[in-house]
Amino acid sequence: MEYPPLRAKTDQMARCLRRDISLYMDRWMIYSKKADFFAVAKKFNISPMLARILRNRDLVTDEEISNFLYGSLSDLHDPFLLKGMDEAVQAARGEMARGTKICIMGDYDSDGVCSSFILKSYFDYAGAKSTVCLPDRIRDGYGMNVRMVHEAFEDGAGLIITCDNGISCHDAVAEAKELGMTVIVTDHHEVSAGLPCADAVVDPRQEGCQYPFKDICGAVVAWKFVQAMLKDDAGAQAAALIDYLLQFAAVATVTDIMPLKDENRIIVREGLKRLSVTGNRGLRALMELKGISGQSITSFHVGFVIGPCLNSAGRLESADEAFDLLYEKDPEKAAQTAGHLNELNEKRKQLTSDQIDRAQELINKDISEKGSPDRIIVCFLPEAHESIAGIVAGHLKEEYNRPAFIITGANDGLKGSGRSIPAYNMIEALTARADLMQKFGGHAGAAGFTLDCSVEEFRSALNADCTLTASDLEKTVWLDMRLPFEYVSPEFVKELELLEPFGTGNDKPLFAEKDITVLKSSVVGKNRTALKMVLENAGGARMDAVYFSSPENISAAAGKTASGSKIMITYYPSINEWRGMQSLQIVIRDIRFQ
C-alpha cells in the first residue's frame, strides 16, 4: 500500500505529543532515534512505520535488520565458540565410552528443569546410564551442594554434569573431584569468584569466552552441548533430536526472562512453532488442561500459562514433579501430573495474592503516616512462603516503581528477595551494607539475602543510603511513535507479526494518538472488565477500540468517556475476530482525559 509522506512530519508530531502529554501524566516518551526510514522500508519491503520501530530497537545495519526479520536456525552461533565446549565434549565422550554412570545436576526452576530434560534426553538417545538430581529449594537452596555430590557418588555416578548452575558451586565441585569424579559445568550465570575446579566449564560469561552472544539461558547452553556432542552424527535421528529439544530451550529462554535478541529471538520463534504441535506428552497434557492446545503458542502462553506451572513445583514442593511431567511417556500419568502442577500453581497464585494484599496494607499505612511510601520499600511478611517473596517484590516494584524487598520469617532466619528499577543497582546497594547480612547475591535488578540484623535496621539503612530522585521514581512509558488512525490497516497489523515473538528486550510496539473524540462507549464482559468505544481523531478517521482493566478502573473510565469526551491514548492495533468475522480495532493500554 502507499503510505502518506511522514518523513517531514514525524519528529514534529513526536515533539508535539510529548509536550502535550507532559501536561497530563508522568513520562510518556516517544523515541526520537534518527534514520532514513523510507530508504530502510524500500530496501526490506516494509512500511516506514515498521522501519522506525526497528530503529527504536537499536537495529541499524542491514545485517542486524535482516537477521531480526528473517533470521533462521542456520544463523545460530556455532556451539564450539563457547569456551570449554571442546573439553566438555571430550570428557563426556570419554566417560560414556567407559560406561560411566552420569548424574545430571540441574536447578529447581523452569530453566533448570528444561536444561536437565535436554541433557537426559540426549544421554538416553546415546544409550548412556544417567540420572537427574534437582535441589530442594528450601533444604538445599540454589544449585548443587556437597550433600548432593555424596548422594550421586554413593549411587555409583562417576560423571557429574551441571546445567543452569555450577559456576559458583566451588565446594561441591571440589568435593566431587576429591572423590575422583569427573565434573563438567554448563551454566550461564556470572562468574563472581573464579572458575570451579571442574574438568570442563562451559559458560558464555567466563573470561576469555568468544561466544558472540552472552545472554543465553542454561537450557540453551545445554542444547548447544547436545549439538556439539552430535556434531559428527549426520543421521536423521540426531537431527530430529536436536530439533525436538529446541522447544525446551525456547520455553526456558522465555521463563528465565532472557532478552529476545540475537539468537534467542530465533530459538524462541522456531521453538514456539514446534511447541504448538509438540509430541511431548507432558507439555501436551498441560496445554490441553489450560485450554491452549491446538492454538499457535506464543511467548505469552509460555511466560504466563506454561512456565508458572513448571515453576510451581520447585516453589512449593519438588522440581522433580516438573521434570517428571516433561519425561512422562504415559498420557494418563502425564495428565495427572499436569493436573497436580496446575493445582500447585493455583495455590501459589493465592498465596501470592494474599501476601501482596498484606504488603499493600503495610505500604498504605506508611503512606497515611508519611504521605508517600519509602523510596526503598521493605515489607516484613513473616507468614509468607519464602519461594514467593520475589514474585511479591516484583509486583510491588511494578505497582510503585520503587525498589522493593520482601523479608520472610524462614526456618533458618530472616530471608529476603528484592526486585529493582533501572535507576537503582540492587546488588551494589546490598554490597555497601554487607555487614547487615549473613549472605547475599544477585545482580542489579534482583537479589536474595539472609539478614543478620532486624528488619527495621535493614529498612532504615537502605533508605538512608538511597540517592533516588523524584524523577527516578517516575515510571517512563516509551512509545514507538504517534500513529494517527489513518495509518492503521489490516496490512500493517499483519506486518507487525514480523516483530514477534514479543518479550523481554523486544516489547510489543506501543503507539499514541491525541485529540480523540469518543463517539460511543459501553462497558462489556461478564465481569465488566472491558470498555468498548468508537473513536474519531482530529482528521476524521474512526476506529473501534477496546480497553481492558479491573472493574474499578473500567467503571471510572466509563464515567469519563461519554459521547463527545476528549481523550488521548496509547494503543496497539489488532484484528478482532467474532463469530467468523474479522474487523480492525485497537487495544488501548492507557487513557488520559483531555
* Mean pLDDT, residues 485-493: 95
- Which segment, 11-20, 218-227, 439-448, is predicted with the most confidence on average? 218-227
- Tell me the per-residue pLDDT of 40-83, one tens digit each, with 9 for 90 and over: 999 999 999 999 999 999 999 999 999 999 999 999 999 999 99
Per the DSSP assignment, residues forming a β-bridge with 478 are 29
* Mean pLDDT, residues 385-390: 90
β-sheet with 157-162: strand ranges across: 130-133, 101-105, 157-162, 182-186, 200-202
* Mean pLDDT, residues 399-428: 90
Provide the 10 A C-beta neighbour count for residue 311: 25
Q: What is the DSSP letter of 141?
A: -
Residue type, 262: D
Q: Tell whether the model's pLDDT for residue 10 goes beyond 80.
A: no
- Tell me the per-residue pLDDT of 314-352, one tens digit each, with 9 for 90 and over: 999 999 999 999 999 999 999 999 999 999 999 999 999
How high is the pLDDT of residue 476?
86
Q: Which three cell numbers stand for residue 29?
A: 516518551
How high is the pLDDT of residue 409?
86
537: alpha, beta or left? (left if phi > 0; alpha if psi -120 to 50): beta
Give 6's pLDDT tier (boundaries 50, 70, 90): very low
Give one DSSP letter per residue of 54-97, joined into a string. HHHTT--SHHHHHHHHH--GGGSPPGGGSTTHHHHHHHHHHHHH
Please report, rounded to a whole number, the percentage of residues in the chain having pLDDT higher than 90: 79
| Residues recorded for the chain | 594
Separation between Cα atoms, residue 13 and residue 17, nearest integer Å: 6
Q: Tell whether the model's pLDDT for residue 138 goes beyond 70.
A: yes
Provide the 10 A C-beta neighbour count for residue 359: 22
Q: What angle do CA 501, 278, 66 make, to 5 degrees?
A: 30
How high is the pLDDT of residue 410?
67
Give 411's pLDDT tier (boundaries 50, 70, 90): low
Cα dihedral angle (459, 465, 471, 475), rounded to 10 degrees? -40
How high is the pLDDT of residue 498?
95
Residue 368 φ/ψ, nearest 5 degrees: -65, -30
Residue 208 φ/ψ, nearest 5 degrees: 90, 0
How high is the pLDDT of residue 355?
95
How high is the pLDDT of residue 137?
84
141: alpha, beta or left? (left if phi > 0; alpha if psi -120 to 50): left
Q: What is the DSSP letter of 509?
A: P
SS3 for 274-304, per residue? HHHCCCCHHHHHHHHHCCCCCCCCCHHHHHH
How high is the pLDDT of residue 7?
39
Contact between 404 and 396 under an 8 Å Cβ cutoff? The reply is yes
- Tell me the per-residue pLDDT of 515-528, one tens digit each, with 9 for 90 and over: 999 999 999 888 88
How far is the CA of 88 from the CAs of 3, 143, 256, 316, 561, in angstroms?
54, 19, 24, 34, 63
More confident call, 280 vs 21: 280
How high is the pLDDT of residue 4?
45
Residue 583 φ/ψ, nearest 5 degrees: -145, 150
Residue indicated by cell numbers 499505612: 365
Residue indicated by cell numbers 526486585: 419
* Mean pLDDT, residues 29-37: 93
How high is the pLDDT of residue 150?
97
Contact between 216 and 236 under an 8 Å Cβ cutoff? The reply is no
Q: Tell whether the model's pLDDT for residue 29 goes beyond 80.
A: yes
How high is the pLDDT of residue 349?
94
Alpha helices in 155-235 (DSSP H): 170-178, 218-229
- Tell me the per-residue pLDDT of 146-180, one tens digit each, with 9 for 90 and over: 999 999 999 999 999 999 999 989 999 999 999 99
Residue 424 φ/ψ, nearest 5 degrees: -130, 110
Burial of 577 (0-12, 13-18, 19+ CB in 10 A): exposed
- Tell me the per-residue pLDDT of 200-259, one tens digit each, with 9 for 90 and over: 999 999 999 999 999 999 999 999 999 999 999 888 999 999 999 999 999 999 999 899
> H or E element: which one contains 548?
strand 542-548
Contact between 214 and 118 under an 8 Å Cβ cutoff? The reply is no
SS3 for 17-50, per residue? HHHHHCCCCCCEEECCCCCCHHHHHHHHCCCHHH
Give 26's pLDDT tier (boundaries 50, 70, 90): low
Provide the 10 A C-beta neighbour count for residue 467: 9
- Tell me the per-residue pLDDT of 466-481, one tens digit each, with 9 for 90 and over: 999 988 998 888 999 9
Q: Measuring CA to CA, which residue among 25, 20, 18 is closest to residue 475?
A: 25
User: Maximum distance among all alpha carbons in the chain?
Assistant: 80
How high is the pLDDT of residue 58?
93
Q: pTM of the entire structure?
A: 0.89
Separation between Cα atoms, residue 293 and residue 247, nearest integer Å: 15
Which positions ≥6 away from 20 have C-beta within 8 Å? 514, 568
Separation between Cα atoms, residue 338 and residue 326, nearest integer Å: 10
Q: Tell whether the model's pLDDT for residue 418 goes beyond 90.
A: yes
Separation between Cα atoms, residue 552 and residue 120, nearest integer Å: 49
- Tell me the per-residue pLDDT of 306-323, one tens digit each, with 9 for 90 and over: 999 999 999 999 999 999
Q: Which three cell numbers stand for residue 402?
A: 520503587
Please report, rounded to a whole number, the percentage of residues in the chain having pLDDT higher than 70: 95
**Distance separating the N- and C-terminal Cα atoms of the chain:** 33
Give 27's pLDDT tier (boundaries 50, 70, 90): confident
Separation between Cα atoms, residue 125 and residue 241, nearest integer Å: 8
